[in-house]
Chain A
Amino acid sequence: MGDSLTRLLFLSDYNTRVVVAGTLLFGAGAGLVGTFLLLRRRALLTDALAHATLPGIVLAFMLFAALEGGGKRLPILLVGAALSALVGMLAVVLIRRFSRLADDAALGIVLSVFFGLGMALLGMATRMETGHAAGLSSFIYGKTASMLLFDAVLIGVVALAVVLGCLLLYKEFTLLCFDSDYAAAQGWPVLLLDILLMFLVVTVTVIGLSAVGLILVVAMLVIPPSAARFWTHRLSRTLMISAAVGALSGGLGAGASALAQDLPAGAIIVLVAAALFGFSLLFGTERGLVKRAREAARLRRRIEEQHLLRAVYELLEGGKLGSAPNFPDYPLMFPPSTPKLGADPNFPGQEGVPISALLEARSWHPRQLRRAMRRATGRGLIAVLPGDACTLTTEGWNEARRVVRNHRLWELFLITHADIAPAQVDRDADRIEHVLDPDMIRKLEALLPAQTAGIPASAHELAGRGGAS
């Protein structure tokens, strides 16, 4: 075992090296074609095609076994597989054309009937005198160990041709998958392009049979591009990542299968691909779950912080200091040497606001409020005062003014331009103002020319105002 492990790791065995290289190239080809296949929404069709190859493989074997006495030559079997897949595709098209069955029903019928036919033929083939038909079952589950050197080279060469085809038709396939109607309107032969794409799909499926097996081969067309979408929004990168995932799974799976002869290569390849998919799902830099959860948490924290600042500000404004003449236009900037607004005798928030009042100002949980306060204190935005009260620091004051201003601009916009009842405004403004970018704020200012300077008054009754005024 240890010896075979070193042999595998260093790929010192020429045969293993070629088999791994062939499967690796197959994986890359499948990743590329699969990306277009997925974007064209034809993944299920491929599964039906893969299953439809079995009768062709067995028939080709039987025919050549009868003619020559030994029919297990890969190229012949693959030609049989391809022809059979084409018949399967034709059957799908015909069923769709002449019945009112939905696509998935037509695919289900073809998939199961062709596979059943193949299994029946396989049973007959194993009873033929000339046959060594037992090896045919490796096309169902995949087995790289039984791959001959010549087979591996054949697979690699055909896979390379598929890769080349995808690169040459990159532009055409992109248009086909994105907007086939527009492609047709521009005069592109959409049917021909579809046929070319399906031809590449069938080719890659057929060469994948001996490595992955016909049951699992669809996984190599679907999983790598699905994994790639978590990492990028660009098609060229999707293709590259998809090809890399396919190649890695193919290479690793074939290697593992060569190491332990009884490990089914197809299963290993698919499991490696699945592991890479799972990793992408979690850690993908564009759509990974971790990234999305982080962003959601960051937004939630930002919203909480802004709610807190606005609540403090509005309590100061509406509550005990509503009558302070200089309140809304209290200067924005302090000399940087002034650490806390509380130190300035003119600051309206000298005494701060009691935390109990804050708790009443919004429908938040005490724990939520404490968490928001802790974070805002840590960021130097609010300062806790003795007697269970808090007030804004200089930075907090500036930030609160900005937040409140955005909030009220947005509210005003909704009221003046979207005919929303003022009573319903606060909640809508809450959701959107937190993601307002400077560009949007400039637009709001332009739409509300009367409001460009200072902070507009709140459009509705403030929660804390009732008691003081």
Chain B
Amino acid sequence: MNAAVPLHISDLTVAYHRKPVLWDVNIALPEGKLVGLVGPNGSGKSTLLKSVLGLVPRSSGRILVYGKPATRNRALVGYVPQRETVDWDFPVSALDVVVMGLYREIGWCVPVRRRQKEKALAALETVGLAEYAHRQISQLSGGQQQRVFLARALVQDARLYLMDEPFAGVDAATEQAIIALLLELRAAGRTVLVVHHDIQTVPTYFDHVVLLNMRVVAQGPTEDVFTEENLRRTYGGKLTLLSDAAEALARRGAQRG
């Protein structure tokens, strides 16, 4: 397929316990753009990122990263998970967490060396946390923790970044730092797909949007796609019909089997 398309998803369907989360999703991202992934709670935004990374089994569909199956092009994909997914009381420092982004490059059983630590320190400096490198992660504020996660993805020097709600619950300083970082990534020709909750800021932050509610409602340049009509279709009531039907289907299946 087209090796210039950072992320090409076709006919993706994902179901948890027979309940569909994503239904026949088709997405093609343009290169070098900041893309907002927007939709109501439970619309499958995180699941979409996770299926690209191969973290959830998919019922059908194909996911290509720069023309190759996503699971074979992992090195090109940087991932920033939601902050709440890990235990921040874990006995590691900010630097240790960032170095984790280089573990694949270091390889099995080989210890981390100075070169990698320097690289990680540089990434921490980019997100403005160099002086916190040796702090235990529980001693960082929520926004700083989020920036540590960003640095871990940055250090990998990927071409496609997937970020799961990086703006959730962060302070103003971190929000500014993340935005500056996104612009920097775009300037360097990287593609960034960001799960975003705050509809107000979408037009200012993103060049391109994907409106998602179990299926793709609309996608394209923000000024064309981010319209009231499309938002109403994304957040509006019509889609409950679809999920009701799916739930009824799942119930019937469960009764039979």
Which positions in A face B, CB cutoff 8 Å? Answer: 39, 168-172, 174-175, 177-179, 181-182, 184-188, 229, 232-235, 238
Contact = CB atoms under 8 A, between A and B. Distances in A.
A235 B91 contact: yes
Given A171-B103, A171-B106, A171-B112, A185 B91 contact: no
- A-B pairs, top 4 by smallest CB distance, nearest first, are A233-B136, A185-B53, A187-B74, A185-B79
A169 B109 contact: yes
A234 B92 CA distance: 5
Contacts of A181: 50, 55, 81, 85
A178 B55 contact: no
A186 B92 contact: no
B108 A235 contact: no
Interface string B91-111: 111001100110110101111
A170 B112 CA distance: 10
A168 B81 contact: no
A177 B86 CA distance: 9
A203 B74 CA distance: 34
A185 B55 contact: yes
Contact of A174 (B71, B77, B79, B92): B92
Given A179-B81, A188-B103, A233-B136, 17 more contacts: A39-B90, A170-B111, A171-B112, A175-B100, A177-B90, A178-B92, A179-B85, A181-B50, A181-B55, A182-B79, A184-B53, A184-B55, A185-B53, A188-B104, A233-B93, A234-B92, A235-B92
Contact of B108 (A172, A179, A233, A234): A172
Contacts of A174: 92, 96, 100
B54 A185 contact: yes
Given A181-B55, A185-B77, A235 B109 contact: no
Contacts of A178: 86-87, 90, 92, 97, 100
Contact of A186 (B50, B74, B93, B136): B74
Nearest to A286: B136
B6 to A, nearest CB: 16
27 contacts: A39-B90, A169-B109, A171-B106, A171-B110, A172-B109, A174-B92, A174-B96, A178-B87, A178-B90, A178-B97, A181-B50, A181-B81, A181-B85, A182-B81, A182-B100, A184-B55, A186-B74, A186-B101, A187-B104, A229-B91, A232-B91, A234-B92, A234-B136, A235-B90, A235-B91, A235-B92, A238-B91
A29 B97 CA distance: 25
B109 A186 contact: no
Contacts of A187: 71, 74, 104
Contacts of A185: 53-55, 74, 77, 79, 81
A93 to B, nearest CB: 17
Contact of B103 (A175, A184, A233): A175
B109 A168 contact: yes
Nearest to A165: B109
B92 to A, nearest CB: 6
Nearest to B90: A178
Interface centre among B54, B85, B92, B110 (most CB of A within 10 A): B92
Contacts of B71: 187
Interface string B165-190: 00000000000000000000000000
Nearest to A439: B131
Contacts of B93: 233-234
A337 B252 CA distance: 91
A229 B109 CA distance: 25
Contacts of A170: 111
B63 to A, nearest CB: 13
Interface in B34-71: 50, 53-55, 71
Contacts of B110: 171
Nearest to B111: A171
Contacts of B97: 178
Contacts of B85: 179, 181
Contacts of B91: 39, 229, 232-235, 238
Contacts of B87: 178
A4 to B, nearest CB: 42
Contacts of A234: 91-93, 136
Nearest to B162: A185
A37 to B, nearest CB: 14
B159 to A, nearest CB: 15
A238 B108 CA distance: 22
B105 to A, nearest CB: 10
Contacts of B108: 172
Interface centre among A168, A187, A234 (most CB of B within 10 A): A187
B79 A235 contact: no
A202 to B, nearest CB: 21
A179 B54 contact: no
B163 to A, nearest CB: 12
A168 B110 CA distance: 8
Nearest to A169: B109
A170 B106 CA distance: 13
A185 B79 CA distance: 7
Interface centre among B90, B91, B103 (most CB of A within 10 A): B91
A188 B136 CA distance: 25
Nearest to B135: A233
B73 to A, nearest CB: 10
A179 B55 contact: no
Nearest to A225: B91
B249 to A, nearest CB: 20
A178 B104 CA distance: 15
B136 to A, nearest CB: 4
Interface centre among A39, A233, A234 (most CB of B within 10 A): A233
Given A174-B92, A178-B97, A229-B91, A186 B104 contact: yes
A92 B32 CA distance: 48
Interface centre among B79, B86, B93, B103 (most CB of A within 10 A): B103
A303 B87 CA distance: 32
A102 B81 CA distance: 26
B160 to A, nearest CB: 12
A233 B81 CA distance: 23
Contacts of B86: 178-179
A170 B100 CA distance: 12
Contacts of A39: 90-91
A171 B97 CA distance: 11
Contact of B54 (A182, A184, A232, A233): A184
